Structure 1
Amino acid sequence: MRVVDLSHPIVSGMQVFPGDPEVTITIAAHLAADGFQVAEVHAGTHTGTHLDAPLHTVEGGASVDEINLERLVGPARIVRLPAVGPGHTFGWDDVEAQLAELGSVAMVLFQTGWSEHFGTELYLRHPAFDGDIARRLLDRGVSVVGVDTLNPDPTDLSGAEVDLPFHRELLGADGVIIENLTNLGSVDWADPWVTVLPLPFLGMDGSPVRAVAMQVDTPAGE
């Protein structure tokens, strides 16, 4: 079995969505002094590679603990996109050719290459995805979508009222969004088996995930 970790490490001071809680990790108990080590973690529910539950943007939407875990494990289609500049918006025409014959695909993950900018100011000016992509994926039975950017919608740094059409379409239909994926370029085989399992925060709007892509070799003769 080959395994590729699609998750950013969680460390103190790591980049978060503007205005979200900062990440701090401190040692609360020390092995030498206490006989064991325990860390104290302060972080938001949308820290690092994470899952957006419908409750994130939908009044009365499902919370992270209410999502059926079977939806978050299965074959994924990785859509490889060309390099673009800051603020570019991908439309359906840019992705359609790679989304034929989805069959039993459980989730679609978009690779823009923007994860290489994680931790920099440029990461905030990432490419985005038109809300029409979310609608068309839902029409094809796909309700779990991941991106290797901070946000499938543009991240507005002006302080203006937030407009999130991709979130509105997907989460409004009880879908799930995975943000801040990384290492998608290291998955060099078709339709990997992917897991994006959250922590069971009761009644909460999201959770960090350990996103993992796997290639399982079939034994000879099977």
Structure 2
Amino acid sequence: MQVFPGDPEVTITVAAEIAADGFQVAEVHAGTHTGTHLDAPLHTVQGGSSVDQIDLSRLVGVARIVRLPVVDAGHVFVWSDVEAQLSDLDSVAMVLFHTGWSQHFGTELYLRHPAFDADIALGLLDRGISVVGVDTLNPDLTDLSGAEVDLPFHRALLGAEGVIVENLTNLASIDFADPWVSVLPLPFAGMDGSPVRAVAMEVAVG
């Protein structure tokens, strides 16, 4: 599985088999930011909340999906690109950005994804939204040069005790309004993040 450059690689091996042992057990080796995952504030903020300290009620609720146009690699979206889709957020628990970039997962192009200006994080925080998801590797640009990492979107959102969900996929399949979305992590004590099973549901009202 493709991971952020330098993160632990993913391996899954069979540790016990039914034929030989009477049961099957697999061994999984992966980093806390593998696949679709959640960034806790501790990921980039010294002393920030760890994944097990996040109130789970923040991670289940109505999501606003902001659908963005197809753009070139490395494009940076700014507040004016998303503002029109971010009105009336009073009942919204999280905002998810759909760029379509998840179709490139597993390729070199996926690493050169579009990104989001930190002003978008600040604008969302001003509107009471502190859980943000993207269908890219990173809401910030991923620097492949090996230079010091610069993560302004992370700093803005996680610095305000927000949460980022990365590597979302299948957002195009949500063809109904006001999806009820769950992005619950494993309660890794003292850790900076966790894989999540992101699920969108159509909930009948009344």
Q: Show structure 1 runs of 4+ deviating over 6 A.
A: none
Alignment of 1:50-199 (within 5 A): 50-199=37-186
**1:197 match: secondary structure:** coil
Partner residue in 2 for 1:214:
201
CA offsets 1:138-185 (integer angstroms, 9 cap, x no match): 000000000000000000000111110000000000000000000000
1:198-209 equivalence runs, <5 A: 198-209=185-196
Over residues 23-43 of structure 1, what are the superposed CA-to-partner deviations in whole Å (9 max), with x where a residue is unaligned? 000000101111110000000
Superposed displacement of residue 104, structure 1: 1.1
Equivalent in the alignment of 1:25 = 12
Secondary structure at 2:89 match in 1: coil
In 1, the alpha carbon distance for the partners of 2:148 and 2:6 equals: 14
Per-residue CA distance 1:2-30 (angstroms, 9 max, x = gap):
xxxxxxxxxxxx10000000000000010
Q: What TM-score do you get using the length of structure 2 for normalisation?
A: 0.99
* Matches of 1:184 and 1:149, distance apart in 2: 11
Give the match's secondary structure for 1:198: coil
Residue 133 (structure 1) shift: 0.2
Aligned length: 206
CA-to-partner distance for each residue in 1:92-132, whole Å, 9 max, x for gaps?
A: 00000000111110000000000000000000000000000
Kindly provide the amino acid, as one letter, of the partner of residue 26 in structure 1.
T
Report the Cα offset of residue 79 of structure 1. Answer: 0.2
The one-letter code sitting in structure 1 at the alignment partner of 2:74 is G
Unaligned runs of 5+ residues in structure 1 are 1-13
CA distance in 2, matches of 1:20, 1:161: 15
What residue number does 2:22 align with? Answer: 35
Q: What is the identity, as a one-letter code, of the residue corresponding to 2:137?
A: L
CA distance in structure 1 between the partners assigned to 2:76 and 2:178 by the alignment? 24
Q: Shift of residue 217 of structure 1? A: 2.5
Quote the Cα distance in structure 1 between the aligned partners of 2:161 and 2:123. 15
Give the Cα–Cα distance (whole angstroms) in 1 for the partners of residues 18 and 62 of structure 2.
41
Separation of aligned partners in 1, 2:88 and 2:7: 38
The unaligned stretches of length 5 or more in structure 2 are none
| Residues 192-220 of structure 1 deviation map (CA, whole Å, 9 limit, x = unaligned) | 000000001000000000000000234xx
